[in-house]
Amino acid sequence: MVTQLIAAHREGDEKAGDRLFAVVYDELHAMARRQLRFRKPGETLNTTGLVHEAYLKLFDRDESGWNDRVHFFSVTARAMRQILVDYARRINAEKRGGGQYHTELNASLISDTTKNVDILDLDDAMKELEKLNPRLATIVECRFFGGMSIEETGALLDVSSRTVDRDWLKAKSFLYLALKGDE
């Protein structure tokens, strides 16, 4: 089914795109829950690569080409972003309601070596960026949320690797400033 949805979405069928997104979103959600359920207490989660796992499970590698694969990854990246945002919102909402959650969960830690980022702040900044130059926001989605390479991202957007490289740098700079200003 995913194969047909990818093909239809690539032809411009937005409804197929929505359904594809829903399938991938549900799968990521199920995988996150499964990981939680079957871990040993105190064990850090077995992070074998959910995006890749979703790919292996849903994507028909025999029937699809490289561009389909890139397309699928970009949808998975978007679903990953959305699911993180949805969880963060729920955590915040429930915290306001009963205060039963520890604040560090609220921090929604997505870290690099120097900085932690709240997923909701990042999402807001990405929406701002999207208004200014949608391609830059898509690149962040692919690179950060989808772990896609420069080459894969370029193929998706039909631009050169050099352009992706440059846009990625600009996008990071923009988000860096936007989030830094938040503190």
Partner 1 sequence: MDPDRWKKMEVLLDEALDLDPSEREAHVRAQAAGDDELRDEVLRMLAASQESESFLESTGRGDLENALARMASAVEDESEDDTMELATAGPYRLTYMLKSWAL
Min separation Cβ 169 and partner 1, Å: 5
- Tokens representing 84 are 């993180």
In the 8-state DSSP scheme, what is residue 101? S
Pick 68 or 141: Cβ nearer partner 1: 141
Nearer to partner 1 among residue 70 and residue 83 (C-beta): 83
Q: Which of 133, 126, 132 is nearest to 178 (CA)?
A: 126
Closer of 13 and 53 to partner 1 (Cβ)? 53
CB of 182 to partner 1, least distance (A): 14
Which residues in this chain contact partner 1 in the complex, by CB under 8 A? Answer: 28-29, 32-41, 43-45, 47, 49-52, 80, 83-84, 87-88, 90-91, 94, 101, 105, 108-115, 117, 119, 131-133, 140, 143-145, 147, 166, 169-170, 172-177
111 phi, psi to nearest 5 deg: -115, 155
Shortest distance in whole angstroms from residue 164 CB to partner 1: 13
* DSSP character string of 21-89: HHHHHHHHHHHHHHHHHTSPTTPPP--S-HHHHHHHHH--TTT--HHHHHHHHHHHHHHHHHHHHHHHH
Quote the least distance from Cβ 156 to partner 1, whole Å. Answer: 18
* φ, ψ of residue 146 in degrees (nearest 5): -110, -10
Under 8 Å between Cβ of 79 and 25: yes
> Which residue bears the tokens 């009963």?
98
Q: Which is nearer to partner 1, 63 or 173 (CB)?
A: 173
Residue 110 CB, shortest distance to partner 1, in Å, is 5
Sign of the C-alpha dihedral computed for residues 30, 35, 41 and 47 taken in this order: negative
Q: Is the Cβ of residue 72 or residue 174 nearer to partner 1 in the bound state?
A: 174
